[in-house]
Amino acid sequence: MLAKVRTEDIIKQFNLELISGEEGIHKPITTSDISRPGLELSGFFNYYPAERVQVLGRSENSFIEQMTDNDRKDRMELLCNATTPGIVITRGLDVPPELIEASERHSVPVMRTTMKSTRFSSRLTNFLESRLAPTTAVHGVLVDIYGIGVLITGQSGVGKSETALALIKRGHQLVADDCVEIRQEDEDVLVGTAPELLEQLLEIRGLGIINVMTLFGAGAVRPSKKITLTINLELWDQNKHYDRLGLDEEKMKIIDTEITRLTVPVRPGRNLAVIIEVAAMNFRLKQLGVNAAEQFTERLNQVIREGDND
């Protein structure tokens, strides 16, 4: 499996100054956890998390300066583990010569930034969590409808892209067509994007591929969107029972997250764009505590109770 992030990626992302250990910049980074090796600098390497990016700030550097020459050399040697993806010096501080020597021997990149340790660690963690998040790809169309990320799925040829085009004409935004790349950025948070090759493009049978931004403007597209609702389009089956009240709530599991799924039957004469638009608005109302189906059921029960009393 190809590495999602390598040390060279964080050098580019944060414009880090590469001090030494250039041979190791292709090392993979496998965890978003960051380490500030205070215990290790004191000599305790029993539980050294060597697979993490190591960050040395003002406190660590001050401690290193107070070490004896032998201790400093030994600790820097142990710090540069073969699996360590890199060591970052913050605040633009001077890099101990012993660290440079050890990093060259073991091909561990030593980098420097002018940012403070806390700020850099926070930004690096966010970057790594995003890039290392579990990912998958789903055949479908992702559209932003009134702030609701709606993933439209269904068999090939059912009309997903045509429906998306109608929604764009109604002022909504396209995120991805045909293939939606999804990553789980946090617990119960799925974010969808388009593959780089397909960004801003929509395939319409009979017309071919169209560029949505060129035709409808920059406001008709967006690069990514949190997925909140899935709508599955399927050809109308007269023998199948479809939910007519909206009381049933189906779920669809993507990676480790379950999201609400609605099934909308397709047949001539149905305006799918309007139906999906209303579904998104109704979903938002449900989130706010307004459930029309439950209100109707309650009214019906009330009428039945009044009839029984008569």
What token pair was written down for 170?
């109604």
Angle of CA points 195, 123, 108, to nearest 5°: 90
Residue 156, marked binder: yes
Residue 154, marked binder: yes
Is 160 marked active-site?
A: yes
Looking at the chain, the number of H-run helices and the number of E-run strands are 10, 17
Q: Are 196 and 218 in contact (CB under 8 A)?
A: no
Q: Which string of b and e fits 136-147 if b means at least 16 CB within 10 Å?
A: eebebbbbbbee
Residue 159, marked binder: yes
Residue 13, marked binder: no
Is 188 marked active-site?
A: no
Catalytic residue among 4, 91, 178, 226: 178
Among candidates 96, 32, 89, 28, which has minimal Cα distance to 55?
89
Q: How far is CA 258 from CA 148, 180, 190, 211, 269, in A?
A: 16, 17, 10, 32, 32
What token pair was written down for 118?
């806390």
Residue 199, marked binder: no
Q: Are 184 and 256 in contact (CB under 8 A)?
A: yes
Among candidates 237, 227, 158, 234, which has minimal Cα distance to 188?
227
Catalytic residue among 112, 160, 172, 222: 160
Q: Are 172 and 143 in contact (CB under 8 A)?
A: yes
Q: Are 35 and 54 in contact (CB under 8 A)?
A: yes
Residue 158, marked binder: yes
Catalytic residue among 139, 169, 251, 299: 139
Catalytic residue among 240, 241, 244, 253: 244
User: What whole-number distance in Å separates Cα of residue 97 and Cα of residue 68?
Assistant: 14
Is 116 marked active-site?
A: no
Residue 192, marked binder: no
What token pair was written down for 21?
């250990």
Q: Which residue numbers belong to the known binding site?
A: 154-161, 203
Residues contributing to the annotated binding site for Mg(2+): 161, 203
Catalytic residues: 139, 160, 178, 244
